[in-house]
Structure 1
């Protein structure tokens, strides 16, 4: 692990094996960290933070920009690491590393955007000043679906804001975080400013969240894990930022550009084998165009190639056998409840897919919004469609969920486009386009999809706390 500027073993000397999900081969072993390892990393970050915060923000930004340059120079090697440990096709892994560079660069550019306010006072000879300060030590807990990008998304703004950072690299995909630490060391990031611990969330993560040394906890992962972190931080009244699961509705109305909607729906469902929190998870299709849409969507899904993610394919494996089996269980329950199978995909276990965690695209049609496949987050290459008679019916079905991360709408109706942001109860809307956030936007979830958010000026501001000073000149 990378702690205090040094590479160290775990206190326990136990190891976690890292599997290639395409072959089931063990490609590396990393320390199975302990609560004591978490304590050492937090203490190293705590010691380093005051001197780091004392640097001018522009100096911190230059070092983060230097890290972005190092990532860019090593992009191909980093992309291969992502593919080998996570399973996404290499072309998509290259895109993820490009996002790492973008996140770090944008954060570096934000160094001159740390601003305060002077507001009018009630008393004579007085000035009210509102300043922004770092929290101190930021703990980053990341998911396995984008192990490099999610780490950089949090690391960049946290560091530029003047915090030190401790990353718990997810136990399934820890190699990307360690590779980022290696580059941070090479570019001269001060010891202790960035630390990477490996291990399991219920042990290392909980210790980090509960520690009095952590000032802010930012996590991307499942809603279940988010609840556990929220509980763990409650006793210490921790500032918690959570980006959690989603169940994105994909609404296509009768006046939509069907070809554009199909292309977007395929991309938003099957990229990264459906393992994206903003994925197209359930489709609501106006009855007038449902047959045409589904015919084209099924044909496009059937044409997707599945295989070695280091090659030119559309889909790699699911990240683990457990994740593959979860998708199969949800689909089986939907079929038992009456879902019609439009494309029979499912687990692949023969021939060149005999090893690895493969799941072929599956498309269902259901007649009830209560179907399990429309209620539970699938997070894989299976999706169901439900026919609707109106925009209002589609919105009602879309909002009938505890999740509130993202939603899609395809229509040419100006009135429906204008009122969609008021009616759809989600933090992120994609209107007539597929998914993919801009770094200057704000990625945030409502409801059980999270608290706080990332990206843009609002995400950056989340790594700073405010202080009010009443300055009397008398």
Structure 2
């Protein structure tokens, strides 16, 4: 059993009441670590620490703030394999995927660091003589960074990077299922010499620790990656202080395949976009809507790719890892059983998996379901796991109508050779991102945001960086 502490004001701390949270390996559900179950008092200490450090950090030149991010990157690069193995043990993704997550974390922070020299405001013509009208962009102050369990390290880099380079200070709140990675990241924070209070981290659940952070009067911004209900709770708690929000929430990305699509490329992309990270990616392919004229051919090609995916030890090449939590496994089982009871046909998988040497873990087989009813839970609800439902559609209009019937709108995939169809889909799909004739991907400079219930604000690129800055207008007479 290993014990990892929280990090407040550059001090390693336990919970003020001594309570702890168990951390389990999702491959076996064996408890291997503990972290503090931080109280509201602990959360308040972290916010005050960040608030006390913020003005001096803001006065530090942006290029020096960027240098601190690069120092963190150096240390993270040196321990790339250590963090990758930690991610496998804590979150369950494969070792190859975990190495990619470490690299993405470095990429997010490197992009933020490179932005230090182009942070700028505006000077505009004034209406009065001998006057300047200027817009300064200034930090909010204390930022609460709430991270989901699917990317415990990358989400830290995605949030801490832009927050710090723009002059804010941060309190990280990792998901209670994956808190060890955050503690280890803070070990690098200490080693890098980041000033006390600039980066803090508290562990605990959302209902107590998270709520205390969000509702603290010194909290000026919250950046959250999580579910829609989590975002709604955060927004309600933040309302009293009118803290700025950047909420990247859930979605149910449709994967639309028209009758003129490149079926071979689309089938391969559909499989990868569903089963990456055991389907636990917010922009994963959640439902295939395929034109009835090519449905049989497409499904045949898809199944040849799905057959190559199998649940297996995540430290070994070729296997799909487990779901991150027992609760996720239980929910996935329920969705599949409900779909089967309602007439969905199981084309692959459909049950818990058995993996030698990893008994007792959160294992589920890569599953494909053929459904003909858009009202089924498996079609209507976000799955966030290795289950892929397929529906036939008769037209682009029907596909877009099914996609837009949802109250969320994070991402969508669209496959067609027709320029007219592509432009109609881009105009019609109510989502923040559309992948056209392309599989799951992302760029550090591409804005990532949701429409409707999939979020407020967004992350990445120049637009994401702007979310960490507020504007100050100055009328200067001379």
| TM bucket, shorter chain | over 0.9
How far off its partner does 1:133 sit?
0.4
| Matching of residue 4 in structure 1 with residue 25 in structure 2 | no
Contact 2:26 2:325 in 1 (8 A): yes
Aligned residue in 1 for 2:457: 452
Helix, strand or coil: the match of 1:128? strand
How far off its partner does 1:305 sit?
2.5
Contact 2:313 2:355 in 1 (8 A): no
1:146-161 aligned within 5 A: 146-161=151-166
User: Unmatched 5+ residue regions in structure 2?
Assistant: 1-5
C-alpha distance after superposition, 1:117-155 (max 9, x if no partner): 011112122211000000111000010000000111000
Aligned residue in 1 for 2:314: 309
How far off its partner does 1:418 sit?
2.2
How far off its partner does 1:313 sit?
2.8
Aligned residue in 2 for 1:355: 360
Helix, strand or coil: the match of 1:360? coil
Instruction: Tell me how large the CA RMSD over aligned residues is.
Output: 1.1
Helix, strand or coil: the match of 1:300? helix
For 1:374, which of 376, 379, 392 is the aligned residue?
379
1:252-331 aligned within 5 A: 252-331=257-336
How far off its partner does 1:6 sit?
1.1
Contact 2:313 2:321 in 1 (8 A): yes
Helix, strand or coil: the match of 1:380? coil
How far apart in 2 are the matches of 1:350 and 1:194?
Answer: 39
How far apart in 2 are the matches of 1:351 and 1:118?
Answer: 65
| Matching of residue 365 in structure 1 with residue 343 in structure 2 | no
For 2:137, which of 128, 132, 155 is the aligned residue?
132
Aligned residue in 1 for 2:66: 61
C-alpha distance after superposition, 1:146-189 (max 9, x if no partner): 00001110000000000010001111000111111111111111
| Matching of residue 108 in structure 1 with residue 113 in structure 2 | yes
How far off its partner does 1:426 sit?
0.2
The 1:200–1:412 alpha-carbon spacing in structure 2 relative to 1, beyond 3 Å, is same
| Matching of residue 25 in structure 1 with residue 47 in structure 2 | no
C-alpha distance after superposition, 1:292-321 (max 9, x if no partner): 111121232122121111111331111111
How far apart in 2 are the matches of 1:275 and 1:106?
Answer: 25
How far apart in 2 are the matches of 1:353 and 1:402?
Answer: 38
How far apart in 2 are the matches of 1:7 and 1:425?
Answer: 45
More off after superposition, 348-357 vs 272-281: 348-357
How far apart in 1 are the matches of 2:450 and 2:218?
Answer: 27
Contact 1:11 1:37 in 2 (8 A): yes
How far apart in 2 are the matches of 1:324 and 1:300?
Answer: 23
More off after superposition, 99-108 vs 68-77: 68-77
C-alpha distance after superposition, 1:188-226 (max 9, x if no partner): 111110011111111011011110111101100011111
Aligned residue in 2 for 1:435: 440
How far apart in 1 are the matches of 2:381 and 2:366?
Answer: 17
For 2:235, which of 218, 230, 234 is the aligned residue?
230
Aligned residue in 2 for 1:424: 429
Aligned residue in 1 for 2:337: 332
How far apart in 1 are the matches of 2:426 and 2:135?
Answer: 32
C-alpha distance after superposition, 1:41-93 (max 9, x if no partner): 11111111111111110010011111112111111100111110000001000
For 2:207, which of 192, 202, 209 is the aligned residue?
202
How far off its partner does 1:350 sit?
7.4
Helix, strand or coil: the match of 1:327? helix
Contact 1:273 1:381 in 2 (8 A): yes
Contact 1:348 1:354 in 2 (8 A): no
Contact 2:96 2:317 in 1 (8 A): yes
How far off its partner does 1:344 sit?
3.1
**TM score, norm. by length of structure 1:** 0.98
Helix, strand or coil: the match of 1:16? strand
Matched residues, number: 473
**TM score, norm. by length of structure 2:** 0.97
How far apart in 2 are the matches of 1:324 and 1:432?
Answer: 31
How far apart in 2 are the matches of 1:208 and 1:312?
Answer: 40
Contact 2:27 2:359 in 1 (8 A): no
C-alpha distance after superposition, 1:362-401 (max 9, x if no partner): 1111112112111001100001111111112111111111
How far apart in 2 are the matches of 1:352 and 1:432?
Answer: 39
Aligned residue in 1 for 2:406: 401
Helix, strand or coil: the match of 2:197? coil
The structure 1 segments of at least 4 consecutive aligned residues displaced by more than 4 Å after TM superposition are 349-353
Helix, strand or coil: the match of 1:441? coil
How far apart in 1 are the matches of 2:438 and 2:189?
Answer: 36
Contact 1:216 1:238 in 2 (8 A): yes
